[in-house]
Structures are given as C-alpha cells and as structure tokens.
Amino acid sequence: MGAASRPTSGGCSGYPAIDSINRVPSVLAAFLALAATTVAAANDGLASMRAAGVMRWGCDISGGAPFAFPDPSDPDRVIGFEVEIAEDLARRLGVRAERYSADWLALIDGLEAQRCDLLINGFEVTADRARVVAFSSPYFRYAQQLVVRAEDRDRFTSLAALAGSPIAVLNGSASIESLRTAGVPRSLIVEYDDSLAPFTETLLGRVDACLQESFIARFFAGHDERLALVEQTFDPGEYGVVVRKSDGTLLAEVNAALSAMRADGTLGRILQRWGLWNDAQRELGTERGPEVAAIPEAIGTPPADGLPWSLILWSLARAAAMTALLTVVSMPIATFAGLWLAIAILHGPKPLSRLCHGYVLVTRGTPLLVQIFLLYYSLPALGTWLGVPELLTWNKVVVGIVCLAANYAAYEAEIHRAALQAIPRSQWDAAGALGFTPRQTLRFIVIPQSWRLSLPAIINDLNSLIKDSSLVSMIGVQELLAVALGIGKASFAVPSMLVAAAAFYLVLSLLADWFGHSLERRARAVQALPEPIPR
Amino acid sequence: MSTPALEARQLRKHWPQSGQVLDGCTVRVERRTVHALIGASGSGKSTLLRCLGLLERPDAGSILFEGVTAADGPVVSNDPRVRRCVGMVFQEPNLFPHLTALGNVWLAPHRVLGLDPGEARERARMTLDRVHALHLADRRPDELSGGERQRVAIARALAMEPTVLLCDEPTSALDPMLTREVMAVLRELALDAGTNMVVVTHDMDFVAAAADSVDFLHAGRIRVSGSTDVLGTRGLDAELDRFLQRS
Ligand SMILES: Nc1ncnc2c1ncn2[C@@H]1O[C@H](COP(=O)(O)OP(=O)(O)OP(=O)(O)O)[C@@H](O)[C@H]1O
Ligand SMILES: [Mg+2]
C-alpha cells in the first residue's frame, strides 16, 4: 500500500500516529492474501448476498462528513452521501443494506476476509489498489483544491503563484502525489495527522495554503470567512465501489445498478443534496436530474442551535458501556488465564512451561494492534481450513474481547509469577509436611496468599485495559473513543468530545479503583471457615 | 521385636554445594517413644529430619513407616496414606498467614483427610485445646506471640494424627521463657501415650526428662545411638564428649 491508500476522504481519519497503523496491513499482507484466497474460493459474493438478503457495505464512520458519519443532531444515526448511495444500490440489487464499520485502513482487509460484500467509502480508483481489488465504474469525480487565507485571496490564485511557499496536506493523502507531480519539492509539503490541522495551520500562518479534495475544502473551509478557496482545481480523480476480485458477477450487477442510478437522476439528486454536484460529474455520465437544494448537514457548519448534548451524552454513555463490557469480560479472563500461565511456567512440565513462557514473551513483545488485526482477519481463513466456518461469525466484539484477554493474560502472568515466587519456600514445606499435594498447596495455601500480592498490580492493569480497549475500534467496535471522535468530527467539536470521552473514561477508571479496593479489602481479611454443619 | 514406628536405613544425601551431608544414617524409632536427635550445627540434623518427613529425596537408603516403605532411594511415595504418617514442626512455625489459628489447624484435616468442615472444626478445636491454645482460635498468626505460634504449629501437625511427629528445634527461635512453654507442651505430648516423636534439640534437660532414646549425629554419620543414659557416660565417643562439654 502506498501513499494513495490513505483516505483522502479520511480527510478525517483522526487516529494519531497513523503511520504505524498504516504499516500493519502490509506486514500482514502475505498472510491475509492467503486467508482471502482460501475464503474467496469457497464463496460467490452475489449468491451469498442474495441468499442472506443483505448487502453488507463497509465504511469508516469516523471518517467524517460528507461520506458516512454520525448525524450531529442524532449521533446514533449514520448519514452521508455514501449511505444514500449504498441504500439505493441495495434496493436495486433487491436486498437490504447493512453497514459494516471498521477503521478505513482496515476496510480492504475486512472485505477480503469476507466480513462485508463491498466497500463504498471514498476509495480512489488507483492502479495500485486495482491490483488487489476490483473497482466499479466511478460514482464521483473530485479534484484537488487549494485553500488560502482570505487576505491572500488575490495573491495566491493558483498553485504556480504559491511557488516557494509551504503547503499543508493530510498525512499520506493523494494530495501529496498531486503536489509532487506538479513539481513542488518535498521540503515544502508539510504533512499533518489530523484533518482539521491543515486549515488551522493555514490560518495561523505556519503554511500559506493547504491542499485537499475539493469538497472537503468546501466542507471545512467554506463557512469560514477567514479562509478562501482557490477557484482553479486540478488533478481530478474518481471514487468507485470496491468489490473482491473474485466477485465478477457481483461487480457486473453493481455496475448495472450504478449506470441506472446515474441515468435516472438518482445519483445526481444525492450529490445535489450533499452539495457535491458540479459539472465534472456529467463527465461520468451522471444526470443531474431536477434541481434539489443542499441539506443543512451538507454545509459543514456547526449546528446553529448548539450541540444536542443530551443525545450526544446518551451516545457516549452507550459507547462507554461497550468499553466497560470489553473490560469487564476480558479482564477476569486475562487474570485467570494469566494465573494459569504463571503456574504452568513455574510448575508445569518442561515443554508446557517453555511453551507458556514463549507465549508470554511473544504476546508482550508484539503490539496489541497487530494481534487484533491478525486474529480478526485470520479467523475466517482458519475456520474454512479447519472446516468450522462458524469462526466466521465471531463478531468483532468477541474478537476484541479475545484479543484484549489474550494480550493482558501475558502481562498478568508475569504479575502472578512474581507473586507466586514471593511466597516463601517454607510455606510449601509446611503444606508438604501436612500431606497437601502440590496442586492442593497452590490452591489452598499459595494462591490465596499470592493473590493479595498481585491484586494491586492487576487493578493497575485493569485501569490501563479500560484505555487500551479503544484499540479494538480499529476493527470497527464502537467503543468510547471511536464514537467520541466520530461525533466530534461530524460536529466540529473534536476537543469537547474528547473532554467528554475523558470524563467517561475517568468515571470507568474510578469505578475500577473502587472495585479493586473492595477486592483488596476482602483479600486482606482472614478467610473465614465454613460454619459447622448443624446436627 | 515389633515393627518400629519409623525406620531409616543407610540414608545418604549430598548437596552439590556442600558435599555429603548424610553419609549413611540409620535411625530406628520404637513405638510410643520420644527419640532425640542431637549434634553440632551443620552436622545434618535438619537434612535427616527433612528426609524422614519426605520433604527431601535421599540419594540412597530407605525409609519405612510402621514397616511400609515410604522412600526407597530417591523414589518417594506419593501415596497420601503413607505421607500422612509423618507430621513436622519446624524451627519457624510457618503458619499460613491468610488463615486464623483455627483455620491453620482445620485446613489439612478438611482438605487432605477429607473430613467435613464441621468435623474438621471439632478436631481442630480439640487439638488446639491439647496445646493450650484454644483461646487463640480466632487470632491471625501475626496476632500471636512466638510461643503461641509454635504451639499452633504443633497443633496443626498433631491434628493430622501422624504416626510420627518430627520436630526440628521447635524452640530455637524462642527466648528461654517461651522455650519452657513450648517444651512443656511437647513433654506433655510425649508422655501422652500413642505419640511417637523425633525431636532435634539442643536442650539436654528436655532430652534427659522426656526422651527415651537418642542419636548423636556428627558430619552426616550417627556416631552414638542408644538410651538417654549415653549422655551421662563419658568416653563412648570423643566427638560426643566434645559436644556435651560445649552444651
Ligand atoms: N538446600 C541445601 N542446599 C545445599 N546445602 C545445604 C542445604 N541444606 C543444608 N545444606 C548443608 O547441609 C549441611 C547440613 O545442614 P543441616 O541444616 O542439616 O544442619 P543442622 O544439623 O540442622 O544444623 P543446625 O543445628 O545449625 O540447624 C550444612 O553444611 C548445610 O550448609
Ligand atoms: Mg537445623
């Protein structure tokens, strides 16, 4: 995957340090390609889609407007021009549209792992990508557009006029290629991780202009009179629906439906509603149809009557419940699995001990994110290979929980190991002299004591798990951070949403501490004997 | 001659770091006797006792409880019926800190012997009473004095009703006052019929008053073995004379 794989749409993919994430799919590429071919050979996309009566279309709802994003006035609803295209497409194919969400960077892998049938999410038709997946005929044509400060409106009227000035772009976006092709030196291209940053940097004067796809420029800068859009656009490109290469029949049906959509004015109407219509669309054969006014959401302004806080808090509360669920289920599993690993390492037969030690080393030595991707995309292949295709149906919450539990088990194992080793040898002697077997000694004498020692460190890890659980948003689990970012971007309120999310995290963390302390109190108390059986 | 309560034949044990610690020890504890094990520091008394308690694998030799083999060379029996023939009281009480005094005594009868909780509780209370520690039943180990802890440890071992109770200097960590307290308990137990004991001790008064027989260990070998009268006789063994002179 090259630079072209970055979401220009993503315009709004808001994860920091995205560069490292970007590499994940390529690291796994060979493995996943194998996974994909195994699975793809087994199914025909169109047939299974028809059989299920559902078209699962993939998108990243934290990618921001106007693609597919949480409605600022009702964050539970996902809206956007691609949502409308997907729904119309499904209707024409005679099935129901069902959204599949994942991080933008993970969508193609998700498609190949059969987690969805097709992708509609600002995928530019590029030669690089066309080697991996198949594209439908395009549904939208964009071009690159410069944004400058309003006072420079008359000075910088073209890219040529900006010669020698630094220009901001979104990290890894197609805009970089455009600038490079136009001969702008690398040193003048300034990349930012956040979609809003190029605009704010332009405003602050650190750069003289920023470049992005035209409608994103309009969406983010159109309502701000301190910024001006440079009229002349350049370097056009197109978005297409993405399907698996093996799904030739599905591709043909999608193309037929898109042609009809273009010809009967449906697509034209959708683009007009979202303020995306321009004459360039005609070049794709898209009919404008009767004139329709743009809906308010299409004009990127913050909601006039303030943010709908009660709805937003409700959404965040439910996302926090997802975060809590991930934590509450995975931490006990991690704790017990970790204890088991520690016992196996310390007391197991040599091969088992080595194996478990190796597991701990590998798990602690590799990023959780890689593990999540690996498990999520390899399960379907594994399922087919083992002849249990049900593995396919493991949903992402389950995958997320398994990953978090498996990862944290390695850390908990080390905590338990240290605590078990801290129990003096003399306790084992005393137990041995009383006739306890090693197993009984562990269970009744050593673990009750080591548990007291390990508990504070485990509660500490519980706290960090609450926050680490946000990583499973990469496979589309709508947990707290992902939802907060999604709403924030759609409502131009990222900072306040992050503060709100932080508040929820804090509450969860305090709850965890409170729970931890009550556990510690109980662990410190002497164990009561069962009451004598009344006679 | 009846089968002895405990018999160890030609026990050998070496540690890589410290060489041959037991160099062919033969010990015979008759039924209903208190057997004392004396010797200088480092002579191998604890090692011998740990082998007898099946906590250590001897390199060679055998151990029999009432004629039943418990260890044959490094092969130590896993049979719980065999293992529960011995109980041990260590230099340190090694009580389980997460349980009360009663819980310490209760745990093994319940979990190892499989008595139901109420029955085990009754037995634990009776045993604590025997060592005059019933009033301490609900205390945690860290709420007990050293002597009280050691009494609870004795009760914990006794509650398993072992054929032989092995005591490794049970009073060496205690001051003279407490020593007397614990020794009084042990003496009482010793006089109580049916208890076989092996006691490692430096307390010659205790040996004289409560022991029936004694082994003198020196450099991993048993140099003198016999009734407690040997302690009053000089000239039997030069090492023993030297040892008695010092203590
Ligand atoms: N686990 C061990 N590893 C190596 N050497 C050991 C070990 N335990 C004991 N020894 C060595 O074996 C020898 C006998 O030790 P042991 O504890 O049996 O002596 P002891 O007669 O009980 O002495 P004390 O009266 O001081 O308790 C000593 O030299 C000691 O260093
Ligand atoms: Mg000793």
**Phi, psi angles (nearest 5°) of residue B33:** -130, 160
- The 3-class SS string of A232-283 reads CCEEEEEEEEEECCCCHHHHHHHHHHHHHHHHCCHHHHHHHHCCCCCHHHHH
Q: Is residue A9 included in any domain, yes or no?
A: no
Counting ligand 1 atoms within 8 A of each CB, the residue from B15, B55, B168 with the most, and so the one to mutate, is B15
DSSP A442: I
Residues A373 and A500 placed together within one structural domain of the fold: yes
Residue A165 DSSP label: S
d(CA A36, CA A32): 6
Cβ-contact B62, B73 below 8 angstroms: yes
User: Across residues A466-479, what is the average pLDDT?
Assistant: 87
| A393 and A249 share one domain | no
Q: Give the residue whose CA is nearest to atom 11 of ligand 1.
A: B18
d(CA A390, CA A298): 41
Instruction: State residue B1's pLDDT score.
Output: 58
Per-residue model confidence (pLDDT) at position A393: 58
Q: Which residues of chain B have pLDDT under 50?
A: none
Percent of chain A with pLDDT over 70: 87
- Return left, alpha or beta for A321; rule: phi > 0 is left, psi -120 to 50 is alpha, else beta: alpha
List A474's β-bridge partners, or say none: none
Nearest-angstrom CA–CA distance, B246 and A209? 97
pLDDT higher than threshold 90 for residue A377: no
Q: Is residue A21 part of a domain?
A: no
Residue A463 clears pLDDT 90, i.e. is over it: yes
Domain range spanning residue A427?
309-526
Q: Ligand 1 mean position to B28 CA, how many Å? A: 22
Task: Please state the domain extents for chain B.
Answer: 1-78+193-247
> Which of the residue ranges A122-131, A171-180, A454-463, B141-150 would you say has the lowest mean pLDDT?
A171-180
Ligand closest to B217 (CA) is 1
Q: Which of A185, A217, A236 is the last residue of a domain?
A: A236
- Quote the number of domains for chain A: 3
What's the pLDDT tens digit per position in A284-341?
989 988 888 888 766 666 556 677 788 888 889 999 999 999 999 999 999 999 999 9
The pLDDT score that the predictor gives to residue B83 is 86
Do residues A292 and A174 share a domain?
Answer: no
State the pLDDT at residue B193.
56
A533 touching chain B per CB within 8 A: yes
pLDDT recorded at residue B14: 92
Answer whether B117's CB lies under 8 Å from A528's CB: no
Most confident option among A6-10, A43-47, B160-164: B160-164
Measured in Å, residue B110 CA sits from the centre of ligand 2 at 30
Q: In A, which residues are within 8 Å of B100 by CB distance?
A: 526, 529
Residues A70 and A84 placed together within one structural domain of the fold: yes
Q: What is the CATH number of the domain that holds A256?
A: 3.40.190.10
On chain A, the residues whose CB falls within 8 A of the CB of B88 are: 429-430, 433
Q: What per-residue confidence (pLDDT) applies to A531?
A: 59
Which pair of structure tokens corresponds to residue A207? 């750069």
Q: How confident is the model at residue A532 (pLDDT cuts 50, 70, 90)?
A: low
Q: What's the token pair of residue B87?
A: 């109980």
Residues A385 and A316 in one domain: yes
Instruction: Let me know whether A86 and A204 are in one domain.
Output: no
The ligand with the least distance to the CA atom of B42 is 1
Residue A17 reports pLDDT greater than 50: no
CA A124 to chain centre: 19
Of the residues B89, B96, B125, B150, the best mutation for testing chain A's interface (the one with the most A CB atoms within 10 Å of its CB) is: B96
Q: Please tell me which residue of chain A has the smallest CA distance to B105.
A: A434
Residues A125 and A159 in one domain: no
A198 shares its domain with A68: no
Residue A246: CB atoms within 10 A of its CB come to: 18
Q: Which range is least confidently modeled, A63-77, A140-154, A308-322? A: A63-77
Portion of chain A with pLDDT greater than 90, in percent: 43
User: Which of A299, A328, A345 corresponds to the end of one domain?
Assistant: A299
Contacting A residues, span 429-488, partner chain B, CB-CB under 8 Å: 429-430, 432-437, 440, 444-445, 448-449, 452
Q: How many alpha carbons lie under 13 Å from residue B136 in its C-beta half-sphere?
A: 26
Is B47's C-beta closer than 6 angstroms to any atom of ligand 1? yes
Report the distance separating Cα B126 and Cα A181, nearest Å: 93
Nearest atom in ligand 1 to the alpha carbon of residue B50 is 18
A492: left (phi over 0), alpha (psi -120 to 50) or beta: left
pLDDT at A414: 96
Looking at residue A22, what is its pLDDT? 39
Mark whether A457 and A349 lie in a shared domain: yes
Residue A272 has pLDDT above 50, yes or no: yes
**Ligand 1 pocket residue status of B78, Cβ below 6 Å:** no
Q: Report if residue A15 sits inside a domain.
A: no
Q: What is the predicted ipTM?
A: 0.92
pLDDT, mean of residues A472-497: 82
Chain mean pLDDT for chain A: 84
Do A113 and A178 share a domain, yes or no?
no
Interface list for B 46-85 with A (CB within 8 A): 50, 53-55, 80, 83-84
A431/A503 same-domain check: yes
Average pLDDT, chain B: 88
Is A332 contained in some domain?
Answer: yes
Which fold would CATH assign to domain B1-78+193-247? Rossmann fold (3.40.50)
Ligand 1 atom with the shortest distance to the CA of B18: 5
Ligand with the closest atom to the CA of B202? 1
Number of H helices, E strands in chain B: 8, 11
Q: Which of A427, A526, A533 to mutate to test the interface with B (most CBs of B within 10 A)?
A: A526
In this prediction, residue A476 carries a pLDDT of: 77
Contact at CB, B156 and A434, closer than 8 angstroms? yes
Closest chain A C-alpha to B202 CA, distance in angstroms? 22
Whole-angstrom distance, CA of residue A449 vs CA of residue A526: 10
Does the pLDDT at position A10 exceed 50? no
Chain B, nearest residue to A524 by Cα: B98
Cβ–Cβ below 8 Å for B80 and A435:
yes
The amino acid at residue A219 is F
Is the per-residue pLDDT at A6 higher than 60? no
At A371, the amino acid letter reads: Q
Instruction: Encode pLDDT of B176-195 as tens digits.
Output: 777 877 788 887 877 775 67
- The reply to whether A10 falls in a domain is no
Residues shown for chain B: 247
Confirm whether A367 is domain-assigned.
yes
Copy the structure tokens of residue A55. Answer: 């078209």
Asked if residue A124 and residue A215 are part of one domain, the reply reads no
